[in-house]
Amino acid sequence: MGSLGHAPSGAQVELVIVNPLAAALQHYTAQLEKMLARAGIASTVLAVTEPSVSGGGRMQWLQQYLRALREARKLRKRGARIVVTWPVLGHIDRFLVPFVTGSRQAVIVMHDPRPLVRAVGYGRGAVILADLIAAPNSLIVHSDLAADEMPGRRDTITRLPHPLVSEVSSRALPTQPVVRVLGQWKPDRDLELLRDLASLLSGVSLEIIGRGWPPVEGWAVRDEFVPEVELDRLLRSSTAVLIPYRRYYQSGIAARAIELAVPVVGGSRELSPMTGADYPFLVPDGAAVGRWADAVQAALASPAGRTAEVSISAGLSASAPWREWVRS
């Protein structure tokens, strides 16, 4: 288990963040902690490294997770709320977490209401049992789309923005525009859209960087894991970032690009909760590839000030609801 985070000196911890995916959700958790600190809320993080990084087995991971929840129980006695950033056991966590932490107010962030790959605790039986036992408002989602597709009781869902902290700074961009797709390959990536876009975007360097990607015609593909430092560099040096997914509830890559004031092109339903509905690079559901190409070209030509304004506004919009929720 990772080390216990530290609250500001002399401050009473108001929120305990349990992160069972210390590597995959490192940035997410760090930004949540930073965002709350800027809002005057002291939080602390208990992190557990996932098996794919630690090299340990799933049972060892589960044991460390339960240990972190028991540690959170001790901190809860000081009056802190508890949020778990990933459901290790799916809907089972909705009654397991309150039981272990001793808090009916402990909540779980549900990033993928309907996982793309087989996962423990998402079957009908687990959902029914959780609905019978779990307290109201035991789940957090980051979009209306995620709330709409969450199975089970509606009163268990709290809608809060994806954590965002504006980190606008000057960027040195390459002479030739670079559009990048970043992140691990998953079956919901729209390869047809990418191939069609390549034929419409001349004079633009098109790159896909992430583990597991197949070859895509017209794109330079690097099938490799991208560490945190490299991901930050790739984002900062991109002229625009493309989110070409058929179905997703929120995008950590999009959130990071918005924080850095890098133009993001993607679906309006998924991205507008972070950017605002008037963000100029959003594409409606079912739009033709030409509409996507127009959005990319607009992003490449956009002034830095426009995306900087969005970054600052998005950070403020995300912070206020979280502050209200922690102190409610």
> CA-based angle 203:195:145, to the nearest 5?
110
pLDDT in tens, 172-200: 787 899 999 999 998 889 999 999 999 99
264 bridge partner residues? 241
Residue 218: closest CA among 208, 226, 206, 209: 206
Given a cut of 60, whether residue 8 has pLDDT beyond it is no
Residue from 290, 237, 296 nearest 266 by CA:
296
> CA–CA separation, 160 vs 107, rounded Å?
12
First to last CA, the chain: 30
- Residue 7: the pLDDT is 46
Tens of pLDDT, residues 98-148 = 999 999 889 999 998 888 777 889 999 999 999 999 888 889 999 888 999
CA 116 from centroid of its chain's CA atoms? 16
Q: Count CB neighbours of 104 within 10 A.
A: 12
3-state secondary structure of 232: helix
pTM (two decimals): 0.90
DSSP summary character for residue 328: -
Element (H, E) at 53: helix 51-54
Residue 277 is predicted with a pLDDT of 86
Q: What is the 3-state composition of the chain as percent helix, strand, coil, each rounded to the nearest 5?
A: 40, 15, 45
